[in-house]
Amino acid sequence: MLDGIQKVHLIGAGGIGMSAVAKFLLAKEKDVSGSDVAVSDIVKDLEKRGVNMHSGHAPENIADGTNLVIFSSAVPEDNLERTHARELGIPEMSYFAFLGALSKEYSTIVVTGTNGKSTTTALLGLILQEAGYDPMVIVGSLVPGFKEGNLRLGGGRFFVVEGCEHNANMLHLEPEMIVLTNIEEDHLDFYRDLDHIRETFQLFVEKLKGKGLTILNADDAESQKIVADRSVRFGTDAKANYRGSDRKTAQGVQSFELHSSMEEEKVFGVVDMKVPGAFNMMNALAATAAAMELGVPFDVCKKVLESFTGTWRRFERVGVWHGADIISDYGHHPTAIRGTIEAAREFFPGRRIVLCFEPHQHSRTKELIDQFIDVLPLADHIIVSEIYDVAGRQESKEDVSSKMLVDAIKENDPGKDVQYAEDLDKAETKLRALIKANDVVLVMGAGDVDEIARNLAG
């Protein structure tokens, strides 16, 4: 797909997915330039690797002789660089269109769903790596064990990739296997409702007709409505082909027993994991089901699962501040928040849970506001920063604010310690005043709130 292409410019190169593409292109010995509005650690890393990075967007950022422009989904059509590329007749592709073209050259395994995509992608990639399958992997996080972090350059036939469901982006991909983690309400700035979300995943599964396998969540009611030509199921439900049972948590380790009913009922053994939460057991079951269906022995899966310490911003223990454990987590959907708080209580029993949360996107906050009001008080103390404004998404901001969440929680429980912060600086100030020794501090959100965790841990 890159024949005849030597110079590639990436707009929004600092995104976690786009930066993986930049590293991939460098490995293919292409001349790579890029631009982004923020100077982040990811941008600095790309510069060190040899990407000619530009701060901000301007027509002159596109060098003479550029053959292809790839743009992040956050970059609008009227972006100055996209407009200039069209004027020059340079072909342009979205990030997901590029991944879609790449997926045609491999036996592609797409991990998609509402929650758990990054961890499941990482686990499956690590398992296939350990099994000697030498896969290529692109994941929306940084994975210990992958030299490039969010990218593994492989020489095998498999390509494991995270398929984002926003704007139905996963439909660009050409899968031979789909791992569908779960289906919930989210991205309601694009989807009409839960039915529309499920119907779109159904369209994606139908791309496999006659040629591939779907891995489905047996515990998830919406996933069970998906019709697939060939499927296996994972979960704790009795109908699961790969079933986890007898989950226990003790001394910072969770364990479960893996059963299989593919041919006959079989107990493979106990898996001990260093990462917490029932949701991580489900991620492990999804990855294991996919890997074992590809012929990987259970012992290889067990070895990887037991050595896995997590990924960047997924229950990431970044350090200690004044005797409190600081954990950064990307979770921004109510279900993910609930799972993370419950995981913290399991791994740190009897300790105070302090949550600093930055809602991500105004439309999500508005559409799921009742769920947020229900789940945030599961923490002992809560600070809610103002909503993160997602670049490239046109939405109304006037009728929803984080203050609405705080006021509603106070109304439901006047004694609850919940505070509103107008911005991240104020949130960090409030958090520093609140933290006590032995606290477990969850810094959660998909936006810039991670900076608070790094500041405390640094």
121-130 pLDDT, tens digit per residue, is: 999 999 999 9
Of all residues in the chain, the percent with pLDDT exceeding 90 is 92
Where does the pLDDT of residue 33 fall: very low under 50, low under 70, confident under 90, or very high at 90 and above?
Answer: very high
- On the 0-12 / 13-18 / 19+ scale of CB atoms within 10 A, 93 is middle
Helix (H, G, I), strand (E, B) or coil at 74: coil
Q: Is 90 exceeded by the pLDDT of residue 180?
A: yes
User: What string of DSSP letters covers 237-291?
Assistant: STT-SEEEEEEEEETTEEEEEEEE-SSS-EEEEEEEESS-SHHHHHHHHHHHHHH
Q: Do residues 118 and 311 make contact, with C-beta atoms less than 8 angstroms apart?
A: yes
Where does the pLDDT of residue 298 fall: very low under 50, low under 70, confident under 90, or very high at 90 and above?
Answer: very high
Helix or strand (DSSP H, E) at 354: strand 353-357
Q: Name the residue with tokens 């089901």.
A: 289
At the fourth CATH level, which superfamily is domain 316-457? Mur ligase, C-terminal domain (3.90.190.20)
Q: Is 80 exceeded by the pLDDT of residue 393?
A: no
Tell me the average pLDDT across 35-53. 94
Q: Give me the pLDDT at residue 210, please.
A: 80
Domain boundaries, the chain: 7-94, 106-307, 316-457
Of all residues in the chain, the percent with pLDDT exceeding 70 is 98
Q: Name the token pair of 372.
A: 């947020």
Instruction: State the CB neighbour count (10 A cutoff) for residue 135.
Output: 25
Q: Give me the pLDDT at residue 395, please.
A: 57
Tell me the average pLDDT across 38-57. 95
Q: Do residues 280 and 273 make contact, with C-beta atoms less than 8 angstroms apart?
A: yes
What residue type is 337 in one-letter code? Answer: I
Strand partners, 77: none
Instruction: State the CB neighbour count (10 A cutoff) for residue 106.
Output: 18
Residue with the bigger pLDDT between 250 and 334: it is 334
CA atoms in the 13 A half-sphere facing the CB of 394: 3
Weakest mean pLDDT among 159-163, 186-190, 344-348, 417-421: 186-190
Where does the pLDDT of residue 172 fall: very low under 50, low under 70, confident under 90, or very high at 90 and above?
Answer: very high
Tell me the average pLDDT across 203-211. 92
Tell me the average pLDDT across 6-16. 97
Q: Taking the model in full, what pTM does it have?
A: 0.92
Tens digits of residue pLDDT in 90-113: 999 999 999 999 999 999 999 999
Q: Does domain 7-94 have CATH number 3.40.50.720?
A: yes
Q: Give me the pLDDT at residue 391, please.
A: 64
Where does the pLDDT of residue 371 fall: very low under 50, low under 70, confident under 90, or very high at 90 and above?
Answer: very high
Q: Do residues 140 and 16 make contact, with C-beta atoms less than 8 angstroms apart?
A: yes
Backbone angles phi, psi at 284, to 5 degrees: -65, -40
Q: Is 90 exceeded by the pLDDT of residue 390?
A: no
Helices and strands in the chain, H and E counts: 14, 21
User: What CATH architecture applies to the domain 106-307?
Assistant: 3-Layer(aba) Sandwich (3.40)
